Amino acid sequence: MKKMTPIELRQRGYQALVKELGQVDAIRFLQDVGWGFGDYTKERQQSLKNVTRVDFWQDIQEIRAKKDL
């Protein structure tokens, strides 16, 4: 399986939450866990540390190609 982009991961994660919890409870869950924990900057730097410019641009091109379908 191809590695998902961060956007794809977020979309699929949200879809899974809605499927299991329903839209209202999925939003309630995200509101509950989404605020005030961790160091976003440090976590973001860590998660993107191995992403190259080539990887980044390939992801952008794939997203744009999917929009054209």
Return the higher-pLDDT residue of 15 and 66: 15
Please state the domain extents for the chain.
1-37, 40-69
Read off φ and ψ for residue 19, nearest 5 degrees. -60, -40
Per-residue tokens: 42: 């440090």
Q: Is the whole model's pTM more than 0.85, yes or no?
A: no
Asked whether the CA dihedral 59, 61, 66, 67 is positive or negative, the reply is positive
Q: pLDDT value at position 18? A: 93
pLDDT(13) > 70: yes
Residue 10 near residue 23 (C-beta atoms within 8 A): no
Whole-number Å distance between alpha carbons of 10 and 59: 14
